[in-house]
Chain A
Amino acid sequence: MDIRFSAEEIAFRDELRDWLGEVLPTLGDPPDRDDWTARREWDMGWQRKLYDAGYAGINWPSEFGGRGSTPTEHLIFLEETTRMGAPYVGMNFVAQLHAGPTLILEATAEQQARHLPAMLKGEEVWCQGFSEPNAGSDLASLSTRAIRDGDHYVVTGQKIWTSFGHVADYCELLVRTDQEAPKHRGITWLICPMDLPGIEVRPITTVAGSSEFCEVFFDEVRIPVENRVGDENDGWRVAMVTFSFERGTAFISELLGTMNQLAEMAELARGIRRNGSTAWDDDEIRREIGHLQAEYDALWALTKRVVSQAQRTGMPGPGGSVFKLYYAEVKKRMADLAHRMLERGALVLAEGGGDEQTGGDMVASRLYVLSLSIAAGTSEIQRNIIGERILGLPKER
């Protein structure tokens, strides 16, 4: 039980800090939330800088162009980049964290050569075509169908919650290739270029007013059979295999950003005047801030446990579901506390919308946090996972 970094890990950190110290001042201001051209340029430009400095694909194996870092180095990378205010992975996240790792494990050499270097250099934006209007928590019941026609699959159906669908070059697409088989056994994983005829992308406006989620409609879209990853009807396994690549690092930037936000809130509380004193003088507000900090410190410690388990066994521990479930609730309480502090100030969104994910605008954040207990497996699904896979309680039937 040792939370100290080794000499190698410290050397890695110091080198990274030096590089960040040089490169970050050259970046300029981040683009507006709704300027998609500028956002693409910003996110891909950052990925290219990472590539040139040898930090692209930090957790990808070196034989595929990654850095081959350990889970702890990955943690250090995310900790340092967040603390020093480097750009977030942004629209590179599907390529870097999901599609890329899937191709590494399951794709042919040709498919890998075609896409992996481009992903690392920030030349391809990927999106995820998994969820459907009628296949959310029950993802395996998806019904977008693909019918084989010679060298092509002809795909018709609809996907939803496709982040960055309107700017993506490729989609990792799950389709049903066997209508008769049990639901998990009739699914195929395809690489779908987003410029094929028959694809229509419609942005969805969220409660927070942003439009990074899209609906994607497929009307007899012809996708070459050579774009299939894994065997026909083996797509469910291909999609699930990536989860073993996730090493408990998914929420590190988010958590550390939230801790910065809490420090800003404490600062704000000390400055808000009310009834001759400040919001900070309110016992309940002050104690809740202390309580939230205790919980975030604990979640950071939990993250280090999960990463340590991944380092030892190659698989993240069960803490991932615990983290997500717990974090969503704590962050909602923090957003509510911000509103109690702001009082009538909470009627107004900050100019420009702020950075809803990692700080700045606490009013927008109160909306954003609603998604934390829904996206990437709802809290109800996380509780099922914990109840059944960890505690061994019987499945509902």
Chain B
Amino acid sequence: MDFELTDDQVALCDGIRDLCQGRFDIDTVRGLADCGGVDRQLWGELVDTGVFSLVVPEEDGGVGLGWAEAGLVFEQLGRALVPGPLVGTLLAAGVTDDAVVGLIERTDGSALVEYPDVLDALLVLDGDGVWRVDAAELSFELAQSVDPLTPVGRVAELPQGDEVGGGDGWANRAVFLCSALQVGLATGARELAVAYAQERQQFGKPIGQFQAVKHKCADMYSREEVARAALYYASCVLDAPELADEDRAVSGARILAAEAADHNGKDCVQVHGGMGFTWEIDAHLYLKRAWALTPCFGSLDEHAERIAAMV
């Protein structure tokens, strides 16, 4: 057993982090709100780096890595607040040739679709399989999204689309990737809060010296680390399903990652005091993204139920 990252995995994380710092600095990320969340040129850099073809086998032109690596990469993307339909585009790789792909679960009646302005296609998952809806067939009305970097369109009637394959395992993988983004968000929010606690002075001291603030930061780190352990475990099970129950591992990661991102987002606002409530400070961006990523393929209650049935 060696549950630590391999040298290659560390190098992969470093590479993606450098890419994010270089190309997706926070001003650039904020600017993407003006173009529907995706700039085709920047998106192309993610494509060229292999972000979306990570788990596609090498013989099919992919990178040929596993879910462990996909999770690590998505963690870094979440930490940098990189927007866009990342989850759908990765899962679509090898299934369609589209460059920017959304993914939702089919529900009765109307549907909310993330990043509607920039999609080439939307994949729709239902009990019968995965269906491709061409962006041209989608008519939607933009809604006011909770997250400025996750624009949302309301689609009155979801077209049936063309079947592109069976849907086995898709929901778990989508949930896993959302969880990875959220562990990254939890990290980003904690880093922002700690940096502020070190520099902000009140009563003649950095506020991070006060236990009320220091202990809040420690709790942020703890829930992030526990969620990360759950995420890594889930990735190992996705890569080797004979090891343990995949549903239980993925649902566990889902619950802990969503809660860590939510709580760390809120704590990040709190540590910033009044400034945390402003648009200018980035704290709200972590919290809003955490919220935008939570209602995806099952509520947290449903995931808790799924685990409870196995206790």
A residues near B, CB below 8 A?
1-6, 9, 72, 75, 262-263, 266, 283, 286-291, 293-295, 297-299, 301-302, 304-305, 307-309, 311-312, 318-319, 322, 325-326, 380, 382-384, 386-388, 390-397
Contacts and interface: CB of A to CB of B under 8 A. Distances in A.
A287 B240 CA distance: 27
Nearest to A259: B311
A387 B208 CA distance: 8
B272 interface: no
Contacts of B208: 387, 393-394
Contacts of B209: 393-397
Interface of B: 1-6, 9, 68, 194, 197-198, 205-206, 208-211, 213-215, 217-219, 221-223, 225-227, 229-230, 232-233, 235-236, 240, 243, 248-249, 251-253, 255-256, 301, 303-311
B236 A2 contact: yes
B2 A308 contact: yes
A5 B1 contact: yes
B160 to A, nearest CB: 34
B307 A388 contact: no
B4 A322 contact: no
Contacts of B307: 290-291, 293-294
A112 to B, nearest CB: 31
Nearest to B223: A326
A287 B1 contact: no
B308 A289 contact: yes
A387 B207 CA distance: 12
Contact of B308 (A266, A325, A383): A266
B176 to A, nearest CB: 14
Contacts of B232: 1, 301, 305
B222 A298 contact: no
Contacts of A75: 1
Contacts, number: 174
Contacts of A325: 218-219, 222
Given A294-B251, A390-B221, 11 more contacts: A266-B308, A294-B304, A298-B229, A307-B1, A307-B3, A318-B225, A382-B218, A383-B219, A384-B218, A386-B222, A392-B198
- The 8 tightest CB contacts between A and B, nearest first, are A290-B308, A290-B304, A298-B230, A301-B233, A302-B229, A387-B214, A294-B252, A290-B307
Given A1-B232, A393-B208, A322 B308 contact: no
17 contacts: A1-B236, A286-B305, A290-B305, A290-B306, A291-B255, A293-B252, A293-B310, A294-B251, A297-B233, A298-B256, A299-B229, A304-B1, A305-B3, A308-B4, A318-B225, A326-B223, A384-B215
A382 B225 CA distance: 14
Given A290-B304, A294-B251, A384-B214, A2 B1 contact: yes
Contacts of B2: 1-2, 308, 311-312
A6 B218 contact: no
Contacts of A3: 1, 3, 233, 236, 243
Contacts of B311: 262-263, 266, 289-290, 293
A72 B256 contact: no
A22 to B, nearest CB: 26
Interface of B is mostly: helix
B230 A294 contact: yes
Contacts of B229: 298-299, 301-302, 304-305, 319
A3 B225 CA distance: 17
Given A299-B226, A390-B221, A393-B217, A308 B1 contact: yes
Interface centre among A298, A301, A318, A393 (most CB of B within 10 A): A298
Contacts of B303: 290, 294
B157 to A, nearest CB: 33
A388 B213 CA distance: 12
Contacts of B235: 1
B218 A386 contact: yes
Contacts of B213: 393
A384 B308 CA distance: 34
Nearest to A294: B252
Contacts of A287: 301, 304-305, 308
Contact of B1 (A72, A298, A380, A393): A72
Contact of A6 (B1, B9, B226, B233): B1
Contacts of A392: 194, 198
A294 B256 contact: yes
A262 B252 CA distance: 15
A297 B248 contact: yes
A166 B214 CA distance: 39
A383 B215 contact: yes
B5 A1 contact: yes
A270 B210 CA distance: 46
Contacts of B308: 266, 286-287, 289-290, 293
Nearest to B232: A1
B6 A1 contact: yes
A290 B256 CA distance: 12
B226 A295 contact: yes
Contacts of A72: 1
B221 A291 contact: no
B226 A326 contact: yes
Given A1-B235, A393-B208, A388 B214 contact: yes
Contacts of B255: 291, 294
Contacts of B5: 1
Given A263-B311, A286-B308, A384 B211 contact: yes
B196 to A, nearest CB: 11
A84 to B, nearest CB: 20
A391 B225 CA distance: 13
A318 B304 CA distance: 28
Contacts of A291: 255, 304, 307
Contacts of B6: 1
B301 A322 contact: no
Contacts of A383: 211, 214-215, 218-219
A24 B301 CA distance: 41
A389 to B, nearest CB: 10
Contacts of A283: 301
Contacts of B253: 298
Given A3-B1, A286-B305, A394 B206 contact: yes
A308 B236 CA distance: 15
